[in-house]
Amino acid sequence: MTHKFLILLSGATLALAACGKHDNATTGGADTGNATDVNATGSDNGMAANSAATAPAPTTAQAFVNAAAASDRFEIESSKLAQGSASSSAVKKFAAQMISAHTASTAKLKGTIAGLNPPLTADDTLAPDQQQTLDSLKGLNGAAFDSAYAQAQQEAHQKTLDALKTYSSSGDNAALKSFASGMIPTVTAHLNLAKGLK
């Protein structure tokens, strides 16, 4: 539930939300599922929590796919940092949920785009704001990390939620609109969990 999806769900950002084309396991989609992210096992697309606030949400299929993939990648990478740098058990638990959910979301996104004609390729390149947030988290640990990570997760998930809502209502591909719509409840749940982090 994060930025690029977020920025290119946001623009180049996940939050559903970004840009060399590659399709790897971290190239996911928006939240797709359960209490961790998208779907029951999906992930919200964490969009970088920063400069994407004013970026327009993507409405084309390729832009949406890239934003979702970047959002998942941001969530996975930032949450992996939390596993080693956070001091709060709640933050570590949340991070583990985000890794699981976003990994699942990536798989769901890949399955969705593989069924398109022609199929799309997801580019999970982080948006500049997502990369900046990730870099800033790398220099922190303990309580300082917990606070910065919680803030980044809130911002990324909000952007992702906004991007999902935009694409689900005005996107240009029916299958991806359905994907976005299905992720909204999960991303909303993850945003609420992120707001509860201390």
Position 192 scores a pLDDT of 96
Average pLDDT, the chain: 78
Domain assignment present for 133 = yes
Paired strand residues for 7: 4
One DSSP character per residue, 18-49 reads: ----B--TT---S--BSSSSSBTT----B--S
Per cent of the chain over pLDDT 70 is 71
* 30 located within any domain: no
Domain hosting 113: range is 51-195
Mean predicted confidence (pLDDT) in 160-164: 92
* Residue 164 located in a structural domain: yes
Number of compact structural domains in the chain = 1
Over residues 152-170, the mean pLDDT reads: 94
* pLDDT tens digits, 4-59: 333 333 333 333 333 333 333 333 344 433 333 333 333 343 333 333 444 567 77
CATH number of domain containing 177: 1.20.1260.10
